[in-house]
């Protein structure tokens, strides 16, 4: 599942590579990408549940 979270979110969001440089900045960017992925997933699950 972690693999899809990485590749799926990057591909579906249109981001091919991390835009920032430096460990701290990349970590922050990665947190935003995974947050967006999980929020979208929760939204879709809520819609599916009715």
pLDDT score for 1: 45
User: Who has greater pLDDT, 35 or 4?
Assistant: 35
| Number of helices and strands in the chain (H, E) | 2, 0
Q: Report the range out of 4-8, 20-24, 43-47 with the highest average pLDDT.
A: 43-47
With tokens 């972690």, the residue in question is 2
Q: How many domains does the chain have?
A: 1
Domain that holds residue 38: 2-49
The single-letter DSSP state of residue 17 is S
């Amino acid at each position: 599942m972690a693999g899809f979270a990485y590749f799926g979110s990057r591909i579906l969001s249109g981001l091919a590579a991390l835009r920032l440089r430096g460990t701290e900045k990349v970590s922050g960017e990665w947190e935003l990408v995974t947050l967006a992925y999980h929020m979208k997933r929760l939204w879709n699950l809520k819609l599916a549940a009715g």
